[in-house]
Amino acid sequence: MRRRAIWDRRDATGLGGSAALRTAVLGPRRATRGPGAILGLAVALGLAACSPAARPAGGAATLGGVSPGHSPASPAAAGKKRTRTGTGAVTRSAASVTIAAVGDMMLGNTPDLPPDPAAYLDAVKPVLDSHAKIVFGNLEGTLTTATTSKCGSLKGPRKDCFAFRDPPRYARYFKDAGFTILNDANNHSFDFGAAGQAQTVRAIHAAGLAQTGLPGEITLVKANGIKVALVAFAPYSYDASLLDLPAARALIKRAGRQARVVVVYMHAGAEGSGDDHVTGQEEYFLGEDRGNPEEFAHMAIDSGASLVIASGPHVVRGMQFYKGHLIAYSLGDFASYGDFSTDGDLDMSVILHVRLSSAGRFERARIYPVQFTGQGQPVRGGGAVAFIAGLSAQDFGATAARILPSGAIREP
């Protein structure tokens, strides 16, 4: 049966206006055929040196009434796993959901685009959607035909400013690679202003993908019979802001009233090859406040988050358990085409798989290492597993995630 993504658009405008709550139902996924798909994003230092200060048109979106959504494509019992006891009796165990996540990604920057974008992610596609009903990625840019960016007109942009855009049709390549939801909470979602952001959201939805990260936005998806709320934050007014802790706390708690499983994403922390450690303090890049990732992640879990994932530093960072919940402080970059540096530790990335119970409890997790070839195309391999294991132990001590050589993640 084909996977369905069904949106309840009642009272929702996508940008501004009223409700920003969306509901998708993810039924059984088709078996992966042929070579996999890979998404890689390695962002050079200074990538976000020019951040717009303006808000998106229409102001902040707010959560409206909860839609009843749709029944999952799978039968009523699909969310349960059958197990056979020693006596031969069949019992049912609690349902669980597996979530796959990667960091920052773009497939080039118009007009410099890959010659075969449909195949660009093929090397890692089997890992992306293997056993995962929800596959999350941070879209580090826009899907737009707009020509006026935060850096000025395309005819004469500032050389120290970076504005990223792919054609709107590229959304389907992310879907074909296995993604089910793309995030807009980052420093490049407003590179082409309100018009570029709005066109990006429309392109994501038109491809049948879920989207999250706008101010006040909670995105609900249903997979394996389990409702999951996703909320994403970045340190900017045109996103759900992670600098406004009371508002962020309230939004996460509201998400928790809509679903027992809540996944929080944060685009947080200083960036560059020298910023692979979590400091436990407020972090800055080129004078811009990028938040305190550890404080924010702990607040998110205290407010009801089941899992916290992050990117933004453009390098991988360590992982920690807090009150039994996993925090992945940076999944690094995941896909690009000649846009970003891949020198040194900027060459490492991972695909994270996490299995959560229907109540949001951690069950198991694993990271699969990714490295970049050519102009930033991702392939499986590299030293990310050992690197993240070392960072975790150095930064978090007794609360560090134990990461085995296989990539399996264990609680301390």
More confident residue, 66 or 270: 270
Q: Count Cβ neighbours within 10 Å for each residue of 356-385 and write b for 16 or more, e otherwise.
A: bbbebebeebbbbbbbbeebbbbbeebebb
- In which band, very low, low, confident or very high, does the pLDDT at 346 lie, cut at 50, 70 and 90? confident
Contact status, residue 294 vs residue 384, Cβ threshold 8 Å: no
Rounded to whole angstroms, the Cα distance separating 23 from 165 reads 27
Classify strands 142-143 and 362-373 as parallel, antiparallel or unpaired. Answer: unpaired
Using the predicted structure, report yes or no on whether residue 121 has a pLDDT greater than 60. yes
Query: Could you write out the DSSP letters of every residue in 109-159?
Result: BTTB--S-GGGTTTTTHHHHHTT-SEEEEEE-SEE----EETTEETTS--T
Summarize pLDDT for 224-243 with one digit per residue, the tens: 999 999 999 999 999 999 99
Based on its alpha-carbon atoms, the radius of gyration of the chain, rounded to whole angstroms, reads: 20
* First-last CA distance in the chain: 39
Domain limits of the chain? 22-50+93-211+234-253+270-351+365-410
Q: Which residues pair with 378 in a beta bridge?
A: 372
Lowest mean pLDDT among 32-41, 154-163, 166-175, 304-313: 32-41
State how far the alpha carbon of 252 is from the alpha carbons of 63, 242, 259, 296, in Å.
Answer: 12, 11, 11, 11
Q: Count Cβ neighbours within 10 Å for each residue of 38-59 and write b for 16 or more, e otherwise.
A: bbbbbbbbebbbbbbeebbeee
Mean pLDDT, the chain, rounded, equals 81
Q: Tell me the two tokens of residue 140.
A: 């580090």
Q: Tell me the two tokens of residue 161.
A: 């400013």
